[in-house]
Amino acid sequence: MTDGLMMEPGSGDRITIGGLQIEVKVSAKDAKLNSAFEVVVPPGFDVGAHRHDHGEEIFYVLEGELDLLAFEPVDISGDNWREWRSRDGRSVLRAGPGSMIFVPPGCPHAFANPTDTEARMLFLSFPAGHEDYLRELAGLVNGRAGTEAVVELRNRHGIEQLTTIAA
């Protein structure tokens, strides 16, 4: 018989990337299929538009508001992904509590907190193991590594950055 995982609020390994606070709830050591994270997104944070070669993601807003993108835009140009539009006319979603996006492999996506208060979301990543990438990224960003190092890390993990990143 296999037991499940039960966690008290506030428990889980913590990863900090700049001002982004990530609490690992389920990792590859716990599950084969997915990793789960509780994420606190500070005011002004913008992950930038990017896409993954493989893997799926779900973002579910718990508190606050986030701008969310999950579609192939008509034109990927410029650094303001919030102005992108899809072929069927969709635009970025201003998402409050209960809003979610599902991101299939290859789909451009992004999130940002345009408000002056923190937002909190549940982030699920399939397959398990995204926490390894996040820990490596935290080491680079918090150590003030250059943009080239971050781009190389993302390339190794099959992530294509579509807008300019700040390292």
Q: Measure the CA–CA gap between 52 and 102, rounded to whole angstroms.
A: 13
Q: Measure the CA–CA gap between 131 and 53, rounded to whole angstroms.
A: 17
| In-domain check, residue 2 | no
Q: What pLDDT was estimated at residue 167?
A: 43
- pTM of the entire predicted model: 0.92
Residues comprising the chain, all counted: 167
* Averaged pLDDT, groups of 10, the chain, 167 residues long: 85 93 96 96 94 96 98 89 95 97 97 97 96 94 84 92 73
Range(s) of the domain holding residue 78: 13-160
Judge residue 111's burial from the number of C-beta atoms within 10 Å of its C-beta, 0-12 exposed, 13-18 middle, 19 or more buried: buried
Q: What pLDDT was estimated at residue 39?
A: 98
| In-domain check, residue 4 | no
Domain containing residue 145: CATH number: 2.60.120.10
CA dihedral (5, 11, 12, 16) in degrees, to 10, reads 160
Tokens of 124: 């699920």
Q: What pLDDT was estimated at residue 76?
A: 86
| In-domain check, residue 3 | no
Q: Measure the CA–CA gap between 135 and 22, rounded to whole angstroms.
A: 10
Q: Count structural domains, the chain.
A: 1
| In-domain check, residue 84 | yes
